[in-house]
Structure 1
């Protein structure tokens, strides 16, 4: 990585950590409690990316997506997931060596996720303590990605121009966020979505393994 890039912002789920089992098992527990059909891991990989409220909504049968049911199930999901969000979730292979290398090069590192802020912070603090200068999860639906506001706040806090920041993510929403913030969006293939989705959303480059970032000529 050429050193004109001074900072890296990471998405969380599907980029830094494989969290799909904890998300799926928590949501399926809520669905089962309410006698609704449950879903496979593969299905949840298409549900994630727009926050837990949206995930709750799309997990419910179409006939049960009224606001009262969605809110009740969402609140229960928050309770269940709080207890299990670090049960099976773990960093992807190669992520910790990548973070070590980036820190050794004195790059500024941040996390920006559509996951609720308290879960984002809990997962990062539990699984990857000490690596990130800023960790930001979603505090309000209005600020969720692809809204670039939080990414631009990170840029301002770092004192680094957006064009000198790499943005790493595994979904089209992440790539849209990078474009909206005028950052360098890089898609990763070890997460939850396809190369086609990343490319069509404007990924500047695609990685197959975390350490590929180090050798990338940007």
Structure 2
């Protein structure tokens, strides 16, 4: 079987967006006179969508559904203003995408970030690389639900087994397994190599260049 496509997670995989996300949420918390959090703490809030992050960031005493909804709207508004201010591709990512594109491998992004923001970041930071950039539009379709990943495979007219799913979290590895795609974990993101392996990563890479080498060694085959 030959790999013909790769679906990437966004935050913690292609881009380091930790500071922009944290700063936006802390702005909301400060406006409500709630305690703020460090970047290290936000590292463990990221991965299950902004609504989930808002819930984790709010004080336990002010964490009802109405408050989450209000703060989520405020968070999205704040984050929209700064989502590409400090966010940058990880070292070696652009070279990786150039290499994969030169091999005519289909590339896409699937994130639990809001769809509007996923598309905005992908378009501004990675113009012309991806066939699709899909974010969260409905909570029920949030990763590890494989629906959107499978929709991408249909768009590409590829079998799920022909696709690598690359991400930095347990959620991404679970999504890959649920979609019957080859799970690749990246250790430079927000989770450890041990967490990725425990979550079902078939391969864990420490630098983007290792994915290039892996693809060369197997001729994009497994």
TM-score, structure 2 length as denominator?
0.96
Show the counterpart of 1:207: 205
Taking the TM superposition and a 5 Å limit, the aligned residue runs for 1:45-60 are 45-60=43-58
Show the counterpart of 1:133: 131
Show the counterpart of 1:69: 67
Runs of 5+ consecutive residues of structure 2 not aligned to the other structure = none
Show the counterpart of 2:160: 162
C-alpha displacement of 1:69 = 1.1
Runs of 5+ consecutive residues of structure 1 not aligned to the other structure = none
Show the counterpart of 1:17: 15
Taking the TM superposition and a 5 Å limit, the aligned residue runs for 1:114-193 are 114-193=112-191
Show the counterpart of 1:94: 92
* 1:137 counterpart SS class: strand
Kindly report the root-mean-square deviation, in angstroms, between the aligned alpha carbons of the 2 structures: 0.8
Query: Per-residue CA shift, 1:69-120, capped at 9, x if unaligned?
Result: 1111111001100100000001000000000000000000000000000000
Aligned with 2:76 (options 71, 75, 78): 78
CA distance in 2, matches of 1:38, 1:196: 29
* 1:185 counterpart SS class: strand
CA distance in 2, matches of 1:139, 1:75: 14
Taking the TM superposition and a 5 Å limit, the aligned residue runs for 1:105-116 are 105-116=103-114
C-alpha displacement of 1:192 = 0.6
Q: Number of aligned pairs? A: 216
C-alpha displacement of 1:133 = 0.5
C-alpha displacement of 1:167 = 0.4
* 1:8 counterpart SS class: strand
CA distance in 1, matches of 2:189, 2:114: 19
CA distance in 2, matches of 1:119, 1:12: 11
Query: Per-residue CA shift, 1:19-75, capped at 9, x if unaligned?
Result: 000000000000000010000101101000000000000000111101111111111
* 1:46 counterpart SS class: coil
Show the counterpart of 2:24: 26
CA distance in 2, matches of 1:140, 1:60: 22
* 2:135 counterpart SS class: strand
CA distance in 1, matches of 2:19, 2:168: 17
Does residue 20 of structure 2 align to residue 5 of structure 1? no
